[in-house]
Amino acid sequence: MSSIAEIVTVIVVGLIGGIAVGLQVPMSGAISAKLGPVATSLIIHIGGAIVSAVLLIFVGGVNLREVDQLPKPFLLAGAFGVILYLTLAFTLPRVGATVSIALLILAQLTVGLLSDHFGWFGMPQHSFNLTRALGVILLVAGSWLVTQ
């Protein structure tokens, strides 16, 4: 990243995503308690599909014609969303939102580190190093502390 404005933009967008996950987790737990995990997943994905369709209509310039150029397994990425909601439906009523989110963060951090280190899925490679190891330790420690 080349400028302070770009760095701030990335941080703000990342925080917005984190807020969205932080709000969605307890909401999906409440829906799941009433309707069950599979119905919850369906409702959440239909809502997401509607919002995505509206964004596609208004954003324009989208290159959906290139979808056939994607590796075929990438087309199943939505299945991970289903797995996410089914696992949340299991963990939320047992350990609450904070621990459920802490577990998500730990798993996401691990996969992110591996993806960065090995350059999986065409991501730029960022090798694991001492600084990143310290960051992992601090995030794990922080996650543990908020669950106490």
pLDDT tens, position by position, 13-60 = 988 988 888 888 888 888 988 999 899 889 999 999 999 888 888 887
Of 46-50, 78-82, 144-148, the one with minimum mean pLDDT is: 144-148
Q: Which domain holds residue 92?
A: 4-146
Give the C-alpha separation, 75 to 42, whole Å: 18
Q: Is the pLDDT of residue 61 over 70?
A: no
Q: Tell me, what's the pLDDT at 65?
A: 79
Q: Is the pLDDT of residue 1 over 80?
A: no
Of 22-26, 60-64, 85-89, 136-140, the one with minimum mean pLDDT is: 60-64
Domains: count for the chain: 1
Do residues 49 and 102 lie in contact, with contact meaning Cβ atoms separated by under 8 Å?
no
Tokens 């969605």 found at: 24
What angle do the packed helices 130-146 and 78-118 form, to 10 degrees? 140
Angle 127-133-134 from CA coordinates, rounded to 5°: 135
User: Would you say how long the chain is, in residues?
Assistant: 148
| Mean pLDDT for the stretch of residues 101-124 | 88
Q: Is the pLDDT of residue 91 over 80?
A: yes
Which is nearest to 100 in space by CA: 147, 33, 145? 147
Q: Tell me, what's the pLDDT at 11?
A: 87
| Mean pLDDT for the stretch of residues 114-137 | 90
